[in-house]
Structure 1
Amino acid sequence: MEPAEWVGFCRFRRGDATVHGFTGDLGLLRDRRFTLLLSARTISVLGSAFAPVALAFGILGLPGATATTLSVVLTAEALPMIVFMLAGGVIADRLPRHRVMMAGEFLMAAGFFALAVMLLTGWTPMPALVTAAAVSGIATAITFPALTGIIPEVVPLDRLQTGNALLGLGANASRVAGAVLGGGTVVLFGGGWALAVSGAMFAVAGVLIALLRMEAGERPPGERHSVLKDLRDGWREFSSRQWLWVVVAQFSLLVMAVQAGHGVLGPLLAKETLGGPAAWSAFLAGEAVGTIAGVLVSIRVRPRRPILVAVLLCLPIALPYVLLGLDAPLWGIVAGAFVLGVSMDVFGVLWQTTMQREVPAESLSRVSSYDMLGSLMFGPIGLMLAGPAAALFGTQGALLGCAVIVVLCTLATLLSPGVRNLRAPELTPATSH
């Protein structure tokens, strides 16, 4: 987007900037509850970032293990996450969200400690590995909807965007650090010990969430209903907002393309023509740096039409796939990955903040669970189709196809009046929390 066009869609709210500024924004870190939530989330994501390398090499290092073994374990983790996501939203809307998050973190710790013990002792029957992986998947389904809902309970309304951005900064930094530290731990001590470290991080995150001590009465309990009625009510809140379900539909296709490009096609092209793992590591590093840089943008930008700006920021996601498909030099591809990282981070902050402002607090976790379920449901299809697409069209052709999917689904989303016209509310700085 050109700077002049950006000014047309966005503004830096002078009133907020005068009262807050960067110093005022960072002043949110003086709030005890936000600091606890930020610390817990950062440590939890660090544990999650350890897990992929630790689990992959730990499982593949087992006697007789094959790629199929790893696939079965990863599927056992992914499927329960999808199946229980809606239930996680209902639970988080019914119960105190900090307790739900705490339970999810401790359940995650239990799953990873179990995997670690099995790898360290050598007792690794497949049913036990699958069960432990499934526990971690269920824990993820419980934790994420509660996280979306708890942020407005901790952060003042006028600082929601800053709070989401700072949480994103902690998570992005943890992903970068975890990828490096997790690999080093696996090399030095083995996958079992790396999984034990992950479990310990989840346990620490659970303790920090327990220390939040949310005040009674901050979220009054509503009338109790059956789970099915809660799900129907959550669906009504979700489907009644055109901007919400349209963008989720967009992301079901966009995530499918990104999963194919990042999970299979990008690494395959790196192996074929770019020099192997080092080149793909450079790509991922460029993307990671972009997500961190995006935080600085997302803290300060205040779009009048946040969803319109967020959707427009999806167009640059196609850039690295175009560069990969056109055989661009590695430095250009890494630069494209940086742009992707910035775009995705700012999108995420604008999206979360808008949902938290527009959706009633008593339904927010259920709506978030529909959001996550819809956005992720076609991801496995992208992974399955990537290999056949590369064989049929060539790796570069398949990557260009991913770019086309991203652009077309984004342009289609812009046809929605709800996406184009939703305006952010005028807010005044809170004098107290």
Structure 2
Amino acid sequence: MPKAAAASGGPLRSPAFRWFFAGLSISMAGSFMSPVALAFGVLAITDSAAWLSAVTASAVVATVATMLFGGGIADRYRRDSVLRLTGLGAGVTQAGVAALLLTHQHPALLLPLAAGNGVFQGLTTPALRGIVSNLVAGRDLQTASSLLASARNVTRILGPTAAGLLTASVGGGWAIAADAASFLLAAACFSRISLPAPAPRGKDGPTMLADMREGWRYFRSRPWIWSVTLAFAVFNAANRGVWQILGPVIAHDTIGAAGWGLVLSAQGVGALLASVVLVKVRLMRRPMMPALFSMALATLPLVLLGAGANTFWLAAASLLTGVAVEFFTVVWETVNYTNIPERLLSRVGAHDEFWSTVSLPVGQMSAPVLAAAFGAATVAATGGGVAAAAMLLVALVPSLRRIEINHDDAGVPSA
């Protein structure tokens, strides 16, 4: 797919990147309100970890199920068009979720709407993984990733706190409604981007299925990609899945919605600090080892949650986690942009997202069952330990030690 012209002087000099930056920032502002609002909204009408697990998992399952298809679409068609359509769909489905929460309907009605929203998220994610390389190139890639990370982290700070306050005062439905509006506003911003149309495909050109197989062949032939993906499959099931379900359940009986929102916002503060630094500071040439070690530290909040830590210590650990996760995120995105051909970015990224996320519903659905059998505290502490071990073990893969970032490269490999 042809690249959009990158303006000199940094990615924000490009009008297309500015509209993308604005749209994604608006969308993320609502999305970071959603987890707190949805969790406490469901708990308010059910008081059941099992229902929260079912609603959350339905969205994740739908996201995972459509992600590989989304990768094929994003590498085959204009990524800006994909983002406009998925933004509209996500806004409509999230508005339905808000209406059900505000009117206190049975939680079973949330399942199809949450799944529908998950479908649009599954189609969106691969397009987001690939479009940055259409808007900027070369030295601007890390800067663009760091700017987007900064926006993500500002919204991560403000979103959960705002959602916690809204949920505690007027209910989670209003925060979900704000998320729905953010999707629609983001779609309007993406409509201002106009990427060149992909090259015409002849009648004998590869089918969508053939394109998807090409992405799979590339993914499986690169141990430095699939080994990290495998480690994150363990991390997402043992750490993220448990955190998303047992975190609000434990907080509901201890620090409350406002305290939980503060803990989540603290992670945003740490991530923002890291992303601001990374806008100016170049990554080391071989960054994967420190990035993986940082992700092992990111399990600390779940361990402390299991140990019964108070809001202060949970927030402090969450801030450290924000720094660690953001450092890894910028490293991984930059490594991908500079080592994977642009025409394959969405398909390979879809496999990375799919195989690392497919285990998340398992963690989400098993968390309440394991908590009933062994206790929530034990499950939380054990999950954190298992996730940390996965990050440390993958650091032993030789090709990860050799993978490099070439800051002077004008683009990504062509094959």
Per the normalisation by structure 2, the TM-score is: 0.84
Output one character per residue of 1:177-201: Cα deviation in whole Å (capped at 9) or x when no partner.
2223334445665555544332222
Q: How does 1:241-260 map to 2 (within 5 A)?
A: 241-260=222-241
Q: How does 1:343-382 map to 2 (within 5 A)?
A: 343-382=324-363
Q: Return the alpha-carbon distance in structure 1 between the equivalents of residues 360 and 106 of structure 2.
A: 29
Letter in 2 for 1:310: A
Q: How does 1:52-63 map to 2 (within 5 A)?
A: 52-56=35-39
Output one character per residue of 1:199-230: Cα deviation in whole Å (capped at 9) or x when no partner.
222111001111012234xx535664233322
- Which of 48, 52, 69 aligns to 1:87? It is 69
Output one character per residue of 1:387-406: Cα deviation in whole Å (capped at 9) or x when no partner.
45445555544343223212
Q: Which residue of 1 aligns with 2:263?
A: 283
Q: Return the alpha-carbon distance in structure 2 between the equivalents of residues 242 and 250 of structure 1.
A: 12
Q: Return the alpha-carbon distance in structure 2 between the equivalents of residues 354 and 85 of structure 1.
A: 21
Q: How does 1:141-160 map to 2 (within 5 A)?
A: 141-160=122-141
> 5+ unaligned residues in a row in structure 1: which ranges?
1-23
Measured after TM superposition, the shift of residue 366 of structure 1 is: 1.0
Q: Return the alpha-carbon distance in structure 2 between the equivalents of residues 117 and 270 of structure 1.
A: 25
Aligned-residue CA RMSD (Å): 3.2
Q: Which residue of 1 aligns with 2:26?
A: 43
Output one character per residue of 1:5-58: Cα deviation in whole Å (capped at 9) or x when no partner.
xxxxxxxxxxxxxxxxxxx98x43232111111110011112222333444565
CA contact (8 A) 2:39 2:248 kept: no
Q: Which residue of 2 aligns with 1:112?
A: 94
- Which of 207, 211, 218 aligns to 1:237? It is 218
Q: Which residue of 2 aligns with 1:408?
A: 389
Letter in 2 for 1:311: L
- Which of 138, 143, 160 aligns to 2:119? It is 138
Q: Which residue of 2 aligns with 1:294?
A: 274
- Please give the secondary structure, in 2, of the residue aligned with 1:314: helix
Q: Return the alpha-carbon distance in structure 1 between the equivalents of residues 384 and 296 of structure 2.
A: 9
Alpha-carbon distance change, 46 to 68 in structure 1, aligned in 2, over 3 angstroms: same
Moved more, 331-340 or 258-267: 258-267
> 5+ unaligned residues in a row in structure 2: which ranges?
1-7
Letter in 2 for 1:95: Y
Output one character per residue of 1:309-350: Cα deviation in whole Å (capped at 9) or x when no partner.
322222212333444556667644432222111010110111
Q: Which residue of 2 aligns with 1:220?
A: 199
Letter in 2 for 1:154: L
Measured after TM superposition, the shift of residue 243 of structure 1 is: 0.5
CA contact (8 A) 2:255 2:310 kept: no
Alpha-carbon distance change, 131 to 380 in structure 1, aligned in 2, over 3 angstroms: closer
CA contact (8 A) 2:50 2:368 kept: no
- Which of 20, 29, 36 aligns to 2:12? It is 29
CA contact (8 A) 2:335 2:404 kept: no
CA contact (8 A) 1:315 1:407 kept: yes
Q: Which residue of 2 aligns with 1:424?
A: 405
Q: Return the alpha-carbon distance in structure 2 between the equivalents of residues 428 and 283 of structure 1.
A: 39
- Which of 375, 384, 387 aligns to 2:365? It is 384
Q: Return the alpha-carbon distance in structure 1 between the equivalents of residues 142 and 360 of structure 2.
A: 27
- Which of 274, 299, 309 aligns to 2:290? It is 309
Q: Percent identity?
A: 31
Measured after TM superposition, the shift of residue 302 of structure 1 is: 1.4
Measured after TM superposition, the shift of residue 260 of structure 1 is: 4.5
Alpha-carbon distance change, 331 to 132 in structure 1, aligned in 2, over 3 angstroms: closer
Alpha-carbon distance change, 147 to 67 in structure 1, aligned in 2, over 3 angstroms: same
Measured after TM superposition, the shift of residue 88 of structure 1 is: 0.6
Letter in 2 for 1:293: L
Q: Return the alpha-carbon distance in structure 2 between the equivalents of residues 135 and 91 of structure 1.
A: 18
CA contact (8 A) 1:255 1:376 kept: yes
Alpha-carbon distance change, 281 to 38 in structure 1, aligned in 2, over 3 angstroms: same
Alpha-carbon distance change, 266 to 140 in structure 1, aligned in 2, over 3 angstroms: closer
Q: Which residue of 1 aligns with 2:4?
A: none
Q: Return the alpha-carbon distance in structure 1 between the equivalents of residues 57 and 81 of structure 2.
A: 28
Output one character per residue of 1:257-301: Cα deviation in whole Å (capped at 9) or x when no partner.
2225422444566577x6555654443232221111120233213
Q: Return the alpha-carbon distance in structure 1 between the equivalents of residues 311 and 108 of structure 2.
A: 43
Q: How does 1:148-187 map to 2 (within 5 A)?
A: 148-186=129-167
Moved more, 180-189 or 161-170: 180-189
Per the normalisation by structure 1, the TM-score is: 0.81
Moved more, 146-155 or 109-118: 109-118
Q: Which residue of 2 aligns with 1:208?
A: 189
Q: Return the alpha-carbon distance in structure 1 between the equivalents of residues 381 and 177 of structure 2.
A: 40
Alpha-carbon distance change, 279 to 313 in structure 1, aligned in 2, over 3 angstroms: same
